[in-house]
A and B are shown apart, each in its own frame.
Chain A
């Protein structure tokens, strides 16, 4: 957040106070010009500017909220996919002659932050990775959303996870990715800390067996 801007009247008052307290010294015209220059600078120095990430090295580095940002998502994606690649189930897929049909379900947001769009972005990254791996038949995330929206409507609001099996049966998938994100959100007088725990898993549709699961931890905070 940008520093608070003082109303110009307050700047003037501050400067006039400083000015007045210095009146014990002989005043010169040059000092008046100096004061006016400061006033002018104060009036014109501020204003937001749009920038491009490529023009501003390190633009993605600072945390700007306690939500998940690009850096956090990259970390989560890297850790999750690394774990998946090293898993036994992935080894089995590599050795298998058949391409398993997989779908990707939304990560349930069980946190105190509105991170849905970040989680959607993460799922799209997972989808991209699975497609690029060229080992799976991946059901479009968009198609699943449509189906879930239909079920959501039938349910009278709120997607019922117990209906996932029915959706998968309709999609003809053998495995699906899903997960949940929890957080521990604590606040004190001079800080707020949000610890995220992201669980991703691969579930076999036929047996509901968890074939792979991994946890990623991310901490964000707002400090005084």
Chain B
């Protein structure tokens, strides 16, 4: 009788657990809104997930709030609310750093039994680098060079750390480019040249040719810089020419999201054939043969959200070319492909652990029931299955990631005469218009983002 009651409790727990949802469901409403071109509604949806009423409220840095803040910051930037965006990025930066240093035995046990989703989020290298890069954009758009320099220095600290960890990423190029721009506009020539030199190790950046002619004064600097300048000689500054300078930076598209998938155990074993231990393979095969294990839950990176054509830039009615400078999606895929086998392996190991736990419960229940009366086998079997099923239901694949990252970046850097200018950017079916009034020698950064 007691065992039966226990079984009822377990089944009830199972029913509750079946309702578990991963991170992808927490951001679904916001991402759908972005697809419809309704970023304000997306912010509202994230506010609800963060349990705050408005974008002006900040949530406590707990759970996955740092990750949701990253999404909110990106969307706020896309609607040109740079001040709120920079606050959210700052908070998220702190939160992601805290999560990096958080370890607990409970998290490890949770990961082993339930899901990688248990425990703190560990941001991949490219996300860490992009937090400071994105926030630098906010400060530059607001012409706050001191704030931008702080972000440039934070980026340098992270770059140095990742290099020591032997984690390289092509995303360093964009950050270094913007750091160079920040120092250049701050009048810090040597720091600007160092950052530009760093940027050139990742890409060619033709738009850097003229700024480097100004900064080097036409003198030989380094093989990379010299190759780009190509002996073109010095160039006067925009201020000396009585002109202003505009940097238009366009982020467009969205990186693919992680989605939960269920894979038959046989296919999963094939996917990790090179790295699974003989014991785990034997155990998985044994359990599969019993018909106990059939599916493994884990996350997968979704397909690309279509092909991306280069955005259009028009200034005062005249078309200007944009330079494609970064394929974030490519980096996301590269990083994911490196990690995917390990993630599938963890999922298989978890599945085995759950079944073993279920078997132990079944054996224990049978033993207990057997003391009171004979024929407790059915109760034991059901209890074991219920335990295994409850743990399986709790397995929500870890789909956490910075879901609102633009998949590509393009830029244009040009000199304009002082006065009023109308800048129009068209990307992914969206049109954004900016009215600028420029003074001689002034600079302005336009950050245009189309998150769909």
Residues of A within 8 A of B (CB): 1-7, 9-10, 12-17, 19-21, 23-29, 32, 35, 48, 65, 108-114, 116, 156-158, 160, 185-192, 222-224
Answer whether A4 and B97 are a contact pair too, CB < 8 Å, given A21-B361, A23-B368: no
Q: Tell me, in angstroms, the Cα distance from A6 to B118 when the chains sit together.
A: 8
B101 touches A27 (CB 8 A): no
Query: For B2, what are the chain A residues with a Cβ–Cβ distance below 8 Å?
Result: 26-28
B333 interfacial contact with A, CB 8 Å = no
Q: Whole-angstrom distance from the CB of B112 to the nearest CB of chain A?
A: 12
Q: Whole-angstrom distance from the CB of B334 to the nearest CB of chain A?
A: 22
B146 touches A116 (CB 8 A): yes
B157 interfacial contact with A, CB 8 Å = yes
Q: Mark B90-112, 1 if CB is under 8 A from A, else 0.
A: 10001101100111100100100
Q: Tell me, in angstroms, the Cα distance from A25 to B104 when the chains sit together.
A: 30
Name 11 extra pairs, CB < 8 A, besides A5-B62, A65-B94, A191-B101: A4-B107, A9-B394, A10-B394, A14-B110, A16-B10, A16-B14, A21-B360, A21-B361, A109-B150, A110-B149, A157-B145
A21 touches B94 (CB 8 A): no
Most B Cβ at <10 Å: residue of A23, A65, A222, A224: A23
Most B Cβ at <10 Å: residue of A9, A48, A110, A190: A9
Stretch of B257-265, B301-309, B312-320, B384-392 with 4 or more beta carbons under 8 angstroms from chain A: B384-392
Query: For B113, what are the chain A residues with a Cβ–Cβ distance below 8 Å?
Result: 13, 17
Q: Whole-angstrom distance from the CB of A145 to the nearest CB of chain B?
A: 14
Q: Whole-angstrom distance from the CB of A177 to the nearest CB of chain B?
A: 19
Residue from B17, B61, B386 in contact with A9 in the complex, judged by beta carbons closer than 8 Å? B17
Residue from A10, A13, A190 in contact with B101 in the complex, judged by beta carbons closer than 8 Å? A190
Query: For B98, what are the chain A residues with a Cβ–Cβ distance below 8 Å?
Result: 1, 222
Q: Whole-angstrom distance from the CB of B98 to the nearest CB of chain A?
A: 5
A156 touches B443 (CB 8 A): yes
Query: For B13, what are the chain A residues with a Cβ–Cβ distance below 8 Å?
Result: 12-13, 15-16
Answer whether A158 and B186 are a contact pair too, CB < 8 Å, given A10-B394, A16-B9, A21-B364: yes
A16 touches B90 (CB 8 A): no
Q: Whole-angstrom distance from the CB of B176 to the nearest CB of chain A?
A: 15
Q: Whole-angstrom distance from the CB of A138 to the nearest CB of chain B?
A: 24
Q: Tell me, in angstroms, the Cα distance from A12 to B120 when the chains sit together.
A: 19
B101 touches A222 (CB 8 A): yes
A-B contact count (CB 8 A): 154
Residue from B19, B90, B102 in contact with A114 in the complex, judged by beta carbons closer than 8 Å? B90
A114 touches B361 (CB 8 A): no
A19 touches B10 (CB 8 A): yes
Q: Whole-angstrom distance from the CB of A43 to the nearest CB of chain B?
A: 12
Q: Whole-angstrom distance from the CB of A91 to the nearest CB of chain B?
A: 35
Nearest B residue to A184, CB-CB:
B157
Q: Whole-angstrom distance from the CB of A186 to the nearest CB of chain B?
A: 7
Answer whether A24 and B6 are a contact pair too, CB < 8 Å, given A16-B390, A156-B443: no
Q: Tell me, in angstroms, the Cα distance from A16 to B390 when the chains sit together.
A: 8
B-side interface residues, number (CB < 8 Å)? 70
Nearest B residue to A158, CB-CB:
B145
| Interface positions of B from 301 to 344, Cβ below 8 Å from A | none
Q: Whole-angstrom distance from the CB of B191 to the nearest CB of chain A?
A: 11
Q: Whole-angstrom distance from the CB of B18 to the nearest CB of chain A?
A: 9
Query: For B120, what are the chain A residues with a Cβ–Cβ distance below 8 Å?
Result: 4
B368 touches A26 (CB 8 A): yes
Q: Whole-angstrom distance from the CB of A20 to the nearest CB of chain B?
A: 4
Nearest A residue to B101, CB-CB:
A224
B143 interfacial contact with A, CB 8 Å = yes
Query: For B393, what are the chain A residues with a Cβ–Cβ distance below 8 Å?
Result: 13
Nearest B residue to A15, CB-CB:
B13
Answer whether A114 and B147 are a contact pair too, CB < 8 Å, given A2-B62, A4-B102, A21-B364: yes
Closest CB pairs A-B (n = 5): A24-B364, A156-B442, A112-B153, A27-B2, A13-B394
Query: For B394, what are the chain A residues with a Cβ–Cβ distance below 8 Å?
Result: 9-10, 13
Q: Tell me, in angstroms, the Cα distance from A223 to B102 when the chains sit together.
A: 9
A4 touches B391 (CB 8 A): no
12 example contacts (A-B, Cβ-Cβ < 8 A) are as follows A1-B61, A2-B61, A6-B118, A13-B390, A14-B110, A24-B368, A32-B9, A112-B157, A156-B442, A157-B442, A187-B157, A223-B101
Query: For A25, what are the chain B residues with a Cβ–Cβ distance below 8 Å?
Result: 368
Q: Tell me, in angstroms, the Cα distance from A109 to B357 when the chains sit together.
A: 56
Answer whether A4 and B63 are a contact pair too, CB < 8 Å, given A111-B153, A189-B165: yes
B221 interfacial contact with A, CB 8 Å = no
Residue from B9, B368, B391 in contact with A19 in the complex, judged by beta carbons closer than 8 Å? B9
Answer whether A23 and B365 are a contact pair too, CB < 8 Å, given A2-B60, A4-B62, A192-B97: yes
| Interface positions of B from 126 to 170, Cβ below 8 Å from A | 143, 145-147, 149-150, 153-154, 156-158, 160-161, 165
Q: Tell me, in angstroms, the Cα distance from A4 to B5 when the chains sit together.
A: 32
Answer whether A13 and B157 are a contact pair too, CB < 8 Å, given A23-B365, A28-B2: no
Query: For B14, what are the chain A residues with a Cβ–Cβ distance below 8 Å?
Result: 16
Residue from A1, A9, A108 in contact with B16 in the complex, judged by beta carbons closer than 8 Å? A9
Query: For A160, what are the chain B residues with a Cβ–Cβ distance below 8 Å?
Result: 187
A186 touches B157 (CB 8 A): yes
Nearest B residue to A16, CB-CB:
B13
B3 interfacial contact with A, CB 8 Å = yes
B383 touches A158 (CB 8 A): no
Query: For A157, what are the chain B residues with a Cβ–Cβ distance below 8 Å?
Result: 143, 145, 185, 442-443
| Interface positions of B from 41 to 78, Cβ below 8 Å from A | 60-63
Q: Tell me, in angstroms, the Cα distance from A12 to B101 when the chains sit together.
A: 27
Q: Whole-angstrom distance from the CB of B20 to the nearest CB of chain A?
A: 5
B119 interfacial contact with A, CB 8 Å = yes
Q: Whole-angstrom distance from the CB of A120 to the nearest CB of chain B?
A: 12
Query: For B147, what are the chain A residues with a Cβ–Cβ distance below 8 Å?
Result: 114, 116
A27 touches B90 (CB 8 A): no
Nearest B residue to A185, CB-CB:
B157
B35 interfacial contact with A, CB 8 Å = no
B119 touches A4 (CB 8 A): yes
Q: Tell me, in angstroms, the Cα distance from A222 to B391 when the chains sit together.
A: 35
Nearest B residue to A159, CB-CB:
B146
Most B Cβ at <10 Å: residue of A12, A16, A29: A16
